[in-house]
């Protein structure tokens, strides 16, 4: 069997730690250097070259290929490294001690901070998409404005780019000023953070009043706070809106609400309504001459631990609910309560997008809307004076990847954290 150290390995075995010190029991390794991690966990995450491809970091050993009766037969520990000898086959693994510390018992109380780089140790958040990893906000918490950045600096300065994109992960949105007022510029912004998500609306879509709109977004009507495309599965998780022309005659202001905050307020004020919206699947639907889309899910989606993870709110595309009369009454009351919280002036930030402003937001969390506008442009043309936004979709995992790669560069660690993570996590 081959032992391969990942991370610093060295030093002499600590006093009393020698092969044969293991308990030989699958879930009672006993040695403090193992931090309470059971034999099967240690074996499943063995970083040796037989178990994990050194080049890609991907796991070679399948769970079905491991001994079902694996035990810890011995432990050799130094400050930097922990060598484990497994029974019944004598396989050896060498772990960096700080890597084990990330996943095992620390002796400290569980953190709720959601810091980047923490793994799924006991009590730690392991899903950066849930409310535990976010900064929930009402309007007053933002000091009157949404997080902002500047496109030229965003392009030139990786730290500024990282700060802007990190705001999308923590607060759900950022506005970039000084994006060139050119058709299609929104696609360049999307490409700077990930990949454009093409839909039936195209690679980008124009948001402006049109004579025969297939979607109320393309009219001058007010639009209540909503998430986009809940009739799509998977839903686009990032949306961008780039202002090319503001409304000439006023109105058309943009509104943004933290849907996670609204859902959390509902949970506190009316737990029964919150439970109704987390447990009642509803269908959203959209159709036009070329498209028929339907998707079903609860308005407030929770993770398996009961934390808010996704909101879906869009009155324009909610299909008739299929519920008994009493259930329908309960559902619509809960839906109304959530929609009222989403539109509460204390929750919602109103901003006037100027030409060149591009908002990037988390479409699983941020509810966006607009006020009505009376426009000066003539029908059919994109002439000066018409409110005209261009939008497109992208994905949150791509944005998170961009932030992580930027952080790698800033730390100058050449991907050490990623490599460390991969010692225990195989991708595909």
Question: 39 with 70: CB under 8 angstroms?
Answer: yes
Minimum Å distance from CB 389 to Fe ion? 10
Place of tokens 């500047």: 150
- For residue 287 the two structure tokens come to 């159709």
Minimum Å distance from CB 229 to Fe ion? 8
Residue with Cβ nearer Fe ion (104 or 391): 391
Residue with Cβ nearer Fe ion (228 or 258): 228
Q: How far apart are CA 92 and CA 202, in angstroms?
A: 54
Rounded to whole angstroms, what are the CA distances from 316 to 15, 228, 240, 256, 320? 69, 10, 20, 17, 11
Place of tokens 């809960």: 334
Residue with Cβ nearer Fe ion (228 or 375): 228
End-to-end CA distance of the chain: 25
Minimum Å distance from CB 393 to Fe ion? 11
- For residue 268 the two structure tokens come to 């506190």
Binding region for Fe ion (CB under 5 A): 228
Q: How far apart are CA 363 and CA 163, in angstroms?
A: 19
Residue with Cβ nearer Fe ion (66 or 349): 349
Q: What are phi and psi of 239, to 5 degrees?
A: -125, 145
Residue with Cβ nearer Fe ion (84 or 247): 247
Minimum Å distance from CB 271 to Fe ion? 29
Minimum Å distance from CB 87 to Fe ion? 59
Minimum Å distance from CB 199 to Fe ion? 12
Helices and strands in the chain, H and E counts:
10, 17
Q: Cβ-closest residue to Fe ion? A: 228
Residue with Cβ nearer Fe ion (228 or 357): 228
């Amino acid at each position: 069997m081959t032992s391969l150290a990942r991370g610093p390995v060295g030093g002499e075995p600590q006093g009393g730690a020698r092969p044969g010190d293991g308990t030989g029991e699958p879930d009672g390794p006993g040695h403090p250097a193992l931090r309470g991690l059971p034999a099967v966990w240690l074996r499943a995450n063995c970083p040796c070259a037989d178990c994990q491809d050194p080049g890609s970091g991907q796991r070679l050993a399948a769970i079905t290929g491991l001994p079902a009766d694996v035990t810890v037969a011995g432990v050799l520990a130094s400050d930097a490294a922990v060598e484990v000898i497994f029974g019944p086959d004598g396989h050896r693994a060498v772990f960096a001690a700080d890597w084990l510390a990330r996943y095992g018992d620390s002796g400290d109380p569980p953190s709720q901070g959601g810091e980047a780089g923490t793994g799924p140790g006991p009590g730690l958040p392991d899903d950066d998409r849930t409310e535990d990893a976010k900064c929930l906000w009402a309007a007053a918490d933002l000091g009157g404005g949404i997080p902002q950045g500047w496109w030229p600096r965003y392009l030139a300065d990786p730290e500024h780019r990282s700060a802007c994109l990190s705001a999308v992960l923590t607060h759900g949105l950022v506005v970039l000023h000084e994006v060139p007022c050119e058709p299609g510029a929104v696609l360049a912004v999307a490409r700077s953070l990930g990949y454009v998500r093409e839909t039936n609306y195209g690679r980008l879509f124009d948001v402006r009043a049109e004579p025969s709109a297939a979607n109320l977004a393309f009219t001058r009507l007010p639009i209540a706070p909503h998430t986009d495309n809940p009739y799509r599965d998977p839903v686009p998780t990032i949306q961008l809106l780039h202002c090319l022309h503001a409304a000439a005659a006023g109105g058309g202001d943009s509104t943004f609400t933290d849907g996670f905050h609204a859902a959390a307020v509902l949970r506190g004020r009316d737990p029964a309504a919150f439970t109704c919206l987390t447990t009642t699947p509803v269908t959203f639907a959209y159709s036009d001459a070329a498209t028929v889309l339907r998707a079903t899910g609860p308005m407030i989606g929770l993770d398996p631990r009961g934390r808010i993870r996704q909101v879906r709110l869009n009155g324009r595309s909610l299909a008739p609910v299929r519920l008994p009369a009493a259930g329908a009454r309960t559902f619509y009351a809960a839906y109304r309560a959530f929609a009222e919280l989403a539109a509460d002036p204390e929750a919602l930030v109103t901003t006037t997008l100027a030409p060149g402003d591009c908002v990037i937001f988390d479409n699983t969390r941020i509810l966006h809307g607009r006020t009505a506008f009376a426009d000066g442009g003539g029908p059919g043309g994109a002439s000066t004076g018409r409110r005209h936004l261009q939008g497109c979709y992208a994905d949150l995992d791509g944005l998170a990847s961009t932030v992580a790669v930027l952080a790698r560069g800033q730390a100058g660690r050449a991907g050490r954290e990623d490599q460390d993570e991969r010692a225990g996590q195989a991708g595909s």
